Amino acid sequence: MREDLISSAINFLNDPKVQSAALTKKVSFLESKGMTAEEIEEAMARASGKAPSSNATAAGTSSYSQPNGMVLQTAPPPVPTRPRYDWRDLFIAAVLAGGVGYGVWTLAKRVFGPWFKVPTQKELEEDKEKLDEQFQAVEDSLKEIKTQTNEALTSVSDQSKKVEESLTSLETVLKDLKDGDQQRDEEFKSVKEEVESLKALVPKMLDRNKDAQGAVLNDLQNEIKSLKSLLLSRRSPGASLLEQGSSNATTTSTPSSPSTASAPAVSTTAAPAATTEGLSPRLSAAFNSSSARPGIPAWQMAAANKSTSSDNKTAEASSSSSSSSEQPATSS
């Protein structure tokens, strides 16, 4: 043990100011100074006047031993007397106890008093009126809720009817659309078939139109030649008999031209009718009108016939006059 620390601890513990302090504070202070538990116990024992530890006791006995072997023992310190309470202390304690008791009573009365308080008749009536008012308010709110619920049910039923009607109309519209789609598909199918038939007939019609145009051109050339001969015959009425014979030949050949022109026309008009047998009436009428062969109008043919007949008459008159003039010459 460290005697210097123990002696300083004894001086610390014997201080009057330190003696009134708590034991734990003393111990904590001594431990903060680096003393061990054994040193603290030794210091407290020496400060309180108790016997020191075994080592110290042995050293003391050896130092205080007499030659005859007798050991001197130190007397224990006197026990401190308990302090007596004064009347002032008792009065203060009584006042404090009364104040604390009154506070506890007041608090208990305010907190727990309403639980154990018996209500009066007036309070019961007031509570009853309040409950009646609350019940009336609840009843009014229930009636209002019932009215709102009925209105909501009515509106929901009306909306459901409208929804059913809209669904019915929607189904009708969808059905009409479906029928329209089917009809359109059928029309597309028929148009497609007609287009396919047209694609097959167009080359044939082009070939036949080409042939018909060639025939028409030939007829026009013949007609132009006949008109040319007619014009020549009109310009020279007093031509020779050879020219008359040639003109007669041409006039006799010209009436055959309309017949020859009409014959291919008949054949060409009859040919498209045979090719448009599988088509619709509208397309067949369009093809027949487009494939009709153009020819000389009827009034032009009538005028040509009149001019040829008049030319024939003039030729006959000139021939008769020439023959009559030749007869007197021969007679003379």
Residue 302 domain-assigned?
yes
Q: What is the pLDDT of residue 72?
A: 39
Residues 6+ apart with CB under 8 A from 288: 269, 272, 273, 276
**What pLDDT band is residue 80 in, cutting at 50, 70 and 90?**
low
Query: Which residue would you say has higher pLDDT here, 49 or 103?
Result: 103
The mean pLDDT value for 36-59 works out to 65
Model confidence at 321, in pLDDT bands (50, 70, 90)? low
Among the candidates 15, 47, 64, a domain finishes at 64
As a whole number, mean pLDDT of residues 88-102 equals: 90
Alpha carbon 292 to its chain's center: 62
Q: Is 251 exposed, middle or buried (0-12, 13-18, 19+ CB in 10 A)?
A: buried
Question: What is the pLDDT confidence band of residue 239, given thresholds at 50, 70 and 90?
Answer: very low
Residue 42 has pLDDT above 60, yes or no: yes
- Contacts by 247-252 with C-beta closer than 8 Å and gap 24+? 247/311, 247/315, 248/312, 248/315, 250/226, 251/308, 251/311, 251/312
With 0-12 / 13-18 / 19 or more C-beta atoms within 10 angstroms meaning exposed / middle / buried, residue 304 is buried
Domain membership of residue 24 (yes or no) is yes
d(CA 47, CA 53): 13
Residue 4 has pLDDT above 90, yes or no: no
| Cα–Cα distance, 162 to 168 (Å, whole number) | 10
Q: Is the pLDDT of residue 253 over 60?
A: no
Number of domains present in the structure of the chain: 2
Residue 307 counted as domain residue: yes
In terms of C-beta density within 10 A (0-12 exposed, 13-18 middle, 19 or more buried), how is residue 99 classed? exposed
Residue 60's CATH number: 1.10.10.10
Give domain status of residue 146, yes or no. no
In a domain, 203, yes or no: yes
Residue 51 lies in a domain: yes
Burial of 225 (0-12, 13-18, 19+ CB in 10 A): middle
Cβ neighbourhood burial of 232 (10 Å; 0-12, 13-18, 19+): middle
How many other CB atoms are found less than 10 A from the CB of residue 39? 20
User: If DSSP codes are grouped into helix, strand and coil, which group holds residue 95?
Assistant: helix
Q: Does residue 138 sit within a domain?
A: no
In this prediction, residue 43 carries a pLDDT of 83
The residue among 22, 37, 64 that closes a domain is 64
The model's pLDDT over 174-199, given as tens digits with 9 standing for 90+, comes to 999 999 999 999 999 999 998 888 88
pLDDT band at 265 (very low <50, low <70, confident <90, very high): very low
Mean pLDDT of 208-234: 87
Angle between helices 241-253 and 298-331 (to 10 degrees): 150
**261 Cβ partners below 8 Å, 6+ apart?**
216, 219, 222, 223, 295, 296
Average pLDDT over residues 308-332: 55
- Looking at residue 132, its pLDDT comes to 92
Domain boundary among 64, 83, 115: 64
In a domain, 129, yes or no: no
229 Cβ contact partners less than 8 Å away, ≥ 6 residues apart: 247, 250, 251, 254
**The domain containing residue 277 runs over which residues?**
197-311
Distance CA 206, CA 291 (A): 9
pLDDT for 264 beyond 70 = no
